[in-house]
């Protein structure tokens, strides 16, 4: 129960997709400061495709990022922005 969501279902779906894409890319979203823990809990409950994970130490193989890796990552991000009409 409680108050209705401020975000529309479409907006929540976009956030859900963003969280999942970042998770697949190896970027966790748990380092952000969230002022309203109840909102986060309710958001996760409404979007069961998102799961909570415990942070793990970064392995040396993942820590070795080259300029080419970063360039490719930025190209992917830019393409996503273009595809969504935000670039």
pLDDT score, position 27: 60
The pLDDT value given to residue 28: 57
pLDDT at residue 33, rounded to an integer: 46
Q: Which residue has the tokens 């748990």?
A: 30
Task: Pull the structure tokens for residue 55.
Answer: 């942070």
pLDDT of residue 85: 82
Using CA atoms, how far apart are residues 19 and 14, in angstroms rounded to an integer?
9
Are the CB atoms for 25 and 72 separated by under 8 Å? Answer: no
pTM of the model: 0.39
Which residues in the chain land under pLDDT 70? 1-3, 22-37, 53-55, 87
């Amino acid at each position: 129960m409680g108050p209705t969501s401020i975000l529309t279902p479409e907006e929540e779906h976009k956030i859900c997709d963003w969280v999942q894409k970042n998770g697949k890319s190896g970027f966790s979203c748990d380092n952000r400061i969230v002022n309203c823990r109840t909102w986060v809990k309710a958001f996760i409950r409404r979007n069961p495709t998102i799961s909570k994970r415990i942070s793990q130490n970064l392995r040396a193989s993942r820590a070795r990022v080259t300029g080419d890796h970063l360039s490719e990552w930025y190209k992917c991000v830019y393409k996503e922005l273009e595809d969504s009409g935000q670039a």
